[in-house]
Amino acid sequence: MKIVVLDGYTENPGDLSWAGLEALGDVTVYDRTSYVDDPVIAQRIGDAEVVITNKTPITKATIDKCPNMKLIAFLATGYNAADYNYAKEKGILVANVPTYGTACVGQYAIALLLEICHHIGHHDKTVHEGKWAKHIDWCYWDYPLIELDGKTVGIIGFGRIGQTTGRIAKAMGMNILAYDLYPNDSGKAIAEYVDLDTLLAKSDVIFLHCNLTADNEGMINKDTIAKMKDGAILINNSRGQLINEQDVTDALKSGKLAAAGLDVVYTEPIKADNPLLTAPNCIITPHMSWGAKEARQRIMDITVDNVKAYIAGSPINIVNK
């Protein structure tokens, strides 16, 4: 059986092994193929039965050119890069990795907040540049330092990752509010569930931990920002399309938002004209909160299990049943 990996580098830049897949068939791994629809995608798939992708799109046109394809396995939870409905029509299964980065993504969200509160990277840089050695005082700080104990966190999307972030924030002495369409008992043990307007009005820090849907695209915009406390902090390492980037930029420039910590943007890689690049007090990192080796190993292991289950005739983690 032929297996093709279209964009393997971000999953495995060299510190993991493809051996689990290689035990299942004839595997060809491409580090990168294309992030837009391109004839080269179908060319590389060829007559492969199993196609593994992360961000390389599998469109209707590609599906039509690859009649031997039977399984599209994503190295990710999101699977919008495939035309999964058309794949279903053609009898092609689409599998994903439903859970892998709960711990590291929640940890990273808190890391963004702590960097905003203390500017550790900046101060380390100034010390190495010699500022402390030349300073007349025994200490200094270039930005106001923020203590989080007693402040209120609002978490929009209180599933596994949101609850992980909530537990860490609670351990730091913060009060936790949550907004989610499906409250549950594990969430109630951590947070007080409230409506969205209440969360926006009462939170000193707002985390986005929700899936992207047609209903919540651009949910952080000038109208919802107006409902926030003056000087609120926004953290988003969920989906870049959840925020209106120009509105967030304007709020940072006006001071309505004190700071933002973002690991995702609307279009990735980020475009040079993204307005957030001009915004003050805005930390942007390159969609890396998922990338801990431990999390990527889980992706690898679950993907191997998905292919094994398909071969055995009992497919798992299928999203287009």
**What's the structural domain count of the chain?**
2
For residue 210, the 8-state DSSP code is: -
Has 268 been annotated as catalytic? yes
Q: Quick check: is 40 in a domain?
A: yes
Our answer to whether residue 115 is catalytic in this structure is: no
139 and 260 belong to one structural domain: yes
Q: Residue 258: what pLDDT?
A: 98
Helices (H) and strands (E) in the chain, counts: 12, 12
49/34 Cα distance (integer angstroms) = 20
Phi, psi of 220 (to 5 degrees): -95, 105
Q: Is 86 in contact with 72 (CB distance < 8 Å)? A: no
- Asked if 127 and 46 sit in the same domain, the reply is no
Q: Are residues 40 and 154 in the same domain?
A: no
The residue annotated as part of the active site, out of 22, 217, 268, 294, is 268
Does 136 lie in the same domain as 63? Answer: no
Q: What are phi and psi of 26, to 5 degrees?
A: -85, 105
Containing domain of residue 185, as a range? 102-284
Phi, psi of 50 (to 5 degrees): -120, 125
Following DSSP, what letter does each residue of 74-85 receive, concatenated? ESSS--TTB-HH
Kindly report the CATH number assigned to the domain that includes residue 83. 3.40.50.720
Rounded to whole angstroms, how far apart are CA atoms 10 and 4?
Answer: 15
Catalytic residue among 118, 160, 167, 287: 287
Strand partners, 153: 176, 205
Q: Could you count the other beta carbons within 10 Å of the beta carbon of residue 10?
A: 17
Distance between CA atoms of 62 and 166, rounded to whole angstroms? 42
- Together in a domain, 7 and 25: yes
User: Are 47 and 146 in a shared domain?
Assistant: no
Q: Please name every residue paired with 236 in a beta bridge, in sequence order, or none if there are none.
A: 208, 262
In this prediction, residue 233 carries a pLDDT of 99
The Cα–Cα gap between 64 and 252 comes to 47
* Residue 290 to residue 108: CA distance in whole angstroms: 8
Catalytic-labelled residue, pool 44, 119, 209, 239: 239
Pair 86, 184 in one domain? no
**pLDDT on residue 221:** 98
Residues 256 and 237 in one domain: yes
Let me know if residue 267 belongs to a domain: yes
Please tell me the total number of residues recorded for the chain in this structure. Answer: 321
In a domain, 320, yes or no: no
Whether 239 is catalytic is: yes
Look at residue 243 in the predicted model and tell me its pLDDT: 98
DSSP state of 241: G
pLDDT value at residue 85: 97
Kindly give the confidence (pLDDT) of every residue in the chain, 321 residues in length, as a single tens digit, with 9 standing for 90 and above: 999 999 999 999 999 999 999 999 999 999 999 999 999 999 999 999 999 999 999 999 999 999 999 999 999 999 999 999 999 999 999 999 999 999 999 999 999 999 999 999 999 999 999 999 999 999 999 999 999 999 999 999 999 999 999 999 999 999 999 999 999 999 999 999 999 999 999 999 999 999 999 999 999 999 999 999 999 999 999 999 999 999 999 999 999 999 999 999 999 999 999 999 999 999 999 999 999 999 999 999 999 999 999 999 999 999 999
| 141 part of a folded domain | yes
What is the pLDDT at residue 244? 98
